[in-house]
A and B are shown apart, each in its own frame.
Chain A
Amino acid sequence: MSDAMDFLLWTKGPMFNIAMAIFAIGLLARLVEILVLGRSTNYAEPRANEWMPGFRTVLTRTVADPGTFKRAPFNVVVGWVWHIGFLIALLLFIPHIELIKGVLGISWPGLANPVVDFFTAVTLLSLIATLVHRMTHPVKRRISTVEDYLVWTIVFLVVLTGYLAYHRLVNPYPLALGMHILCAEIFLIMLPFTKLTHIFTAFIARWYNGAAFGRKGVQS
């Protein structure tokens, strides 16, 4: 405990730089690779335009169609709830906005702390529900890999440590805050090399899909 402040300053100092560098190198390497490789040339004559159907699919695949909802309502509802809660906590909590402003120089209005706190609590509960579901659902259990559990763990830890730090449930506080920052840094480092990359690639993939449909002239 006596080195809590040193630990906090390490996470805010050198470790933050390392995490950010690995994140940026890894993410850009993957994105540029994907975009430069593109898709193999399609020699068939296009039946229609690619662009609009691409964007349409970005939208339509984001909102689940009734069939998907009927088949897996839990996935759709809980998935949406925790993603939104996570984004609210990440982007609209004032200390996070200050962090982004400090690093990138851009900022936007935030939400009052109790509102963010509520969404964080909901996110935590939803995340637990997703884990229980994953471990009890016969199909999901079989298709889950070690990476899936690893990704769940780091996301959960980021939110949990943030909640503990905000409510000052761990003493001394510099230790609590340092743990939260460290978890967020591990998250950043893991992001380009795990399924977490979907934060950036999901929409690209959807566009490619939609564009391919459009080209063939099928409904996107």
Chain B
Amino acid sequence: MATPKRPDKTLGESLRAHGLSRRGFLKLCAATASMMALPASMVPRIAAALEQAKRPSVIWLSFQECTGCTESLTRSHAPTLENLILDMVSLDYHHTLQAASGDAAEAARMTAMEANAGEYLVVVDGSIPGPDANPGFSTVAGHSNYDILMETVEHAAAVIAVGTCAAFGGLPQAKPNPTGAMSVMDLVKDKPVINVSGCPPVPMVITGVLAHYLTFGALPELDGYGRPMAFFGQSIHDRCYRRPFYDKGLFAETFDDRGAQEGWCLYRLGCKGPTTYNACATMKWNSGTSWPIEAGHPCLGCSEPSFWDGGSFYEPVSVPLTANARTLLTAGAAGAVVGGTVAAVAKHRVKKADANRQPVTIEELEKKL
């Protein structure tokens, strides 16, 4: 088996070996810049940096996941920026994609870790049964997800948590969280963790983070949830092309009424765009073809923590999760009983006082004076 040592070719050489022209390369750099919301003046710098960059070794770990994130990254139409950027890294371990299996695959991981200690990137998709959970809930090659993660990140330069499961626990962590699922950032405290959330994440965001790392040798600016600001800095609602309808108060109320046909705002159909931060509204899906709201479906809030436990996908953001008329009526009835009892006791006391009253005559009073 070939040693998956860190390749010595620079990225420029590697891309040329893949038949990418200089012109194509600059186009790639320009796309990278605009994707990361960097000014066009940065393009030459990006080109120079990428030209010289060494392809970093990437170890991709898949835990409790559905492979949707890998699908999102690899099934985009070719030839795309995603494919080109995949050429930017040396993907040394990805047990869904790699040809090797069993011991050979595990050996590839160990070799890559040794050869590139302190420099390799770890990409994780899927959540991890935590240290207190039964380690048998999810294993790879006989090792628990937790052990593999901790062993692999120990000498990593950084960890990229791809998808909402790795970033926030996602579906496996939804109530009642039977496997004690945890996110990468719950477990990895001593390495930089970048969250690329989404179920699945927009593929260009995954590649954008890699491109940024290659260009600047550093991680991008992150938001409060550890997500790259360039992609998660604004909410879906703020960038939504249906926003003018929201502002005017024009809403679709069913999926086939006039509002739906006219493309009005989907808030009343349960759109979670107002509380969701992701790049869908600007980058769109399927190579920029469309995106869920453009297709007429409300945003589910897939890039936010607890999105499976945030109430029905079809209830508006303002509707409480569990409160209903029964809660109100039961509490009201209890209150009525309390109020009735208090009043009855008071009335009873007055009546009793009335009954026991000792009448006094004027004569008696005068005598006392």
Chain A residues proximal to chain B, CB less than 8 Å: 1-2, 4-6, 8-9, 12-14, 16-17, 20-34, 36-37, 94-96, 98-99, 101-105, 110-115, 168, 172-174, 177
25 A-B pairs whose Cβ atoms sit less than 8 Å apart in the complex: A1-B224, A5-B305, A8-B275, A9-B309, A12-B320, A13-B321, A13-B322, A20-B323, A23-B331, A24-B331, A24-B334, A25-B331, A27-B332, A28-B336, A28-B338, A29-B339, A34-B339, A94-B249, A94-B268, A95-B317, A96-B318, A102-B320, A103-B325, A104-B328, A168-B238
Which residues on the B side are within 8 Å of A32 (C-beta)? 335-336, 338-340, 343
* Cβ-defined contact, A94 with B267, below 8 A: yes
How far apart are the CA atoms of A10 and B268 in the complex, in Å?
21
How far apart are the CA atoms of A168 and B240 in the complex, in Å?
14
Q: Closest CB of chain B to A199's CB: distance in Å?
A: 15
* Cβ-defined contact, B247 with A114, below 8 A: yes
Q: Closest CB of chain A to B317's CB: distance in Å?
A: 7
Q: Is B319 an interface residue (CB 8 A)?
A: yes
Q: List 12 other contacts, CB 8 Å, given A5-B305, A21-B327, A36-B343.
A: A6-B305, A9-B310, A22-B331, A29-B342, A32-B340, A33-B343, A36-B347, A37-B343, A95-B317, A96-B318, A99-B320, A103-B324
Q: Closest CB of chain A to B110's CB: distance in Å?
A: 34
Q: Is B315 an interface residue (CB 8 A)?
A: yes
* Cβ-defined contact, A112 with B306, below 8 A: no
* Cβ-defined contact, A28 with B333, below 8 A: yes
* Cβ-defined contact, A113 with B335, below 8 A: no
The interface on chain B, measured as residues whose beta carbon lies within 8 A of the other chain's beta carbons, has a size of: 53
Task: Name the residue of chain B whose CB is nearest to the CB of A96.
Answer: B318
* Cβ-defined contact, A9 with B344, below 8 A: no
* Cβ-defined contact, A5 with B328, below 8 A: no
Q: Is B304 an interface residue (CB 8 A)?
A: yes
Q: Closest CB of chain B to A58's CB: distance in Å?
A: 22
Closest 8 CB pairs of A and B: A112-B249, A28-B335, A32-B339, A102-B319, A24-B331, A36-B343, A1-B224, A29-B339
Known contacts A21-B331, A36-B347; is-contact A114 B322 (Cβ 8 Å): no
Q: Closest CB of chain B to A100's CB: distance in Å?
A: 9
* Cβ-defined contact, B224 with A2, below 8 A: yes
Known contacts A24-B335, A94-B267; is-contact A110 B325 (Cβ 8 Å): no
* Cβ-defined contact, A2 with B249, below 8 A: no
Task: Name the residue of chain B whose CB is nearest to the CB of A168.
Answer: B238
* Cβ-defined contact, B320 with A13, below 8 A: yes
* Cβ-defined contact, A99 with B318, below 8 A: yes
Q: Is B93 an interface residue (CB 8 A)?
A: no
* Cβ-defined contact, B268 with A98, below 8 A: yes
Known contacts A21-B331, A27-B335, A29-B342; is-contact A9 B248 (Cβ 8 Å): no
Which residues on the A side are within 8 Å of B322 (C-beta)? 13-14, 16-17
* Cβ-defined contact, A20 with B327, below 8 A: yes
How far apart are the CA atoms of A13 and B315 in the complex, in Å?
14
How far apart are the CA atoms of A9 and B272 in the complex, in Å?
13
Interface string of B279-301 (1 = CB under 8 A from A): 00000000000000000000000
Q: Is B274 an interface residue (CB 8 A)?
A: yes
Which residues on the A side are within 8 Å of B247 (C-beta)? 113-114
* Cβ-defined contact, A98 with B316, below 8 A: yes
Quick one: which of A5, A16, A34 contacts B304, CB cutoff 8 A? A5
Q: Is B251 an interface residue (CB 8 A)?
A: yes
Which residues on the A side are within 8 Å of B325 (C-beta)? 103-105
Q: Closest CB of chain A to B218's CB: distance in Å?
A: 21
* Cβ-defined contact, B320 with A114, below 8 A: no
Task: Name the residue of chain A whose CB is nearest to the CB of B338.
Answer: A29
Quick one: which of A1, A9, A26, A103 contacts B328, CB cutoff 8 A? A103
How far apart are the CA atoms of A99 and B275 in the complex, in Å?
16
Q: Closest CB of chain A to B293's CB: distance in Å?
A: 17
